[in-house]
Amino acid sequence: MSSTERHRFILHELAKSGFVSVSELAKTLQVSVVTIRKDLKILEEKNLLFRSHGSATSVSPYVVDRPVQLKKLEQVEEKNRIAIRALDFLEPKEAIIIGSGTTMGAFAQAIPKNLPLTVVTSAINVALALMDTSEIEIVQLGGVVRKSSGSAVGHFAEEMLKSVSCYKLFLSVDGISLDYGMTTSNMLEAHLNAEMIRSVQKTIVLVDSQKFGRKGFGKIGELEDIDVIITDSGIPERYREKFEEKGIEVVVV
């Protein structure tokens, strides 16, 4: 098989799944790993793919910080379905933590107004969504407000978390990578999210399928820190299989 034919095959596989493995390509095409790496380098130089450790993707795996107003317009239906499904993991009178982000905002809006809860949150949009509820006690974490996420971060928020103990954390992230775990675009937000995980018994991640295979600047934690992932039907099969291998419950809506 010529290099042109190999390149055509690689791009076809990327178009199907958005991901290719160097070792699998070498096995399928019956060439060396070195040859495949050279092929991927050439295709990357032509801006046709993005290389990473032992693989390549059709889109950049790296995420950047963007205004929450833009994020609200993306994957709206998927986020709403995910938020509604997450309600099944709520129990009356329990204390929970809700992270920041547009998916968390959708989740907060979906919570029944008569459900008695204690909600600890760093997110202003979450607190506002629950303000008119008589049964829900809101504990707002304080700190420096990130305008791009509408979330309070920093030392004061982290110190407040050390004074509470909750059963569940509902968290959204900017990226989930099989080799790097959970990430977000801001280091301070990532550190606060990590403290949230340490403050609970169970971590439930609400994330649309576009976040799989992506990486942000700040690392939140490992895949092993996740108990449940609620996502949409666009989740790549290899991710679903890997999560289940690690004992993570995967809920697809």
* pLDDT (average), residues 239-246: 94
Which domain does 111 fall in, by range? 68-252
**CATH code, domain carrying 191:** 3.40.50.1360
Is the model's pLDDT at 53 over the cut of 80?
no
234 and 188 belong to one structural domain: yes
209 domain-assigned: yes
**Are 90 and 19 part of one and the same domain?**
no
pLDDT confidence of residue 52: 78
In this prediction, what percent of the chain has a pLDDT beyond 70?
Answer: 95
| Average model confidence (pLDDT) across the chain | 91
Residue 128 pLDDT grade (very low, low, confident, very high; cuts 50, 70, 90): very high
Assess whether 111 and 232 both reside in one domain: yes
| Residue 62 within any structural domain of the chain | no
**Number of Cβ within a 10 Å radius of residue 98:** 30
Which CATH number characterizes residue 33's domain? 1.10.10.10
Q: Are residues 22 and 93 in the same domain?
A: no
Least confident of 49-58, 119-128, 156-165: 49-58
- State the pLDDT confidence band at 65, using cuts at 50, 70 and 90: low
Q: Which region among 72-86, 111-125, 127-141 has the lowest average model confidence (pLDDT)?
A: 72-86
Same domain, 164 and 238: yes
Asked if residue 43 and residue 89 are part of one domain, the reply reads no
Query: What pTM did the predictor assign?
Result: 0.79
Partners of 56 in beta bridges: 20, 51
Tokens of 109: 């809006």
- Token output for 63: 């995420």
What's the CA angle centered on 209, arms 106 and 149, to 5 degrees? 45
For the chain, the domain total comes to 2
**What phi-psi label fits residue 202: left (phi over 0), alpha (psi between -120 and 50 degrees) or beta?**
beta
Are residues 73 and 27 part of one domain? Answer: no
Residue 16 lies in a domain: yes
Residue 11 C-beta-side C-alpha neighbours within 13 Å: 15
For residue 4, what are its two tokens?
Answer: 């042109």
Q: What is the mean pLDDT of residues 191-201?
A: 96
User: Which comes out higher in pLDDT, residue 17 or 119?
Assistant: 119
Same domain, 50 and 81: no
78 and 184 both lie in a single domain: yes
Instruction: Identify the helix (H) or strand (E) that includes residue 42.
Output: helix 33-45
Same domain, 53 and 75: no
- Residues 138-193 have pLDDT tens digits of 999 999 998 888 899 999 999 999 999 999 999 999 999 988 999 998 999 999 99
Query: What mean pLDDT comes out for the span 191-214?
Result: 95
Please give the torsion angle defined by the CA atoms of residues 128, 130, 132 and 138, in that order, rounded to the nearest 10 degrees. -100
pLDDT band per the 50, 70, 90 thresholds, residue 72: low
pLDDT given at position 160: 93
**pLDDT bracket for residue 7 (50, 70, 90):** very high
Residue 141 vs residue 45, higher pLDDT: 141
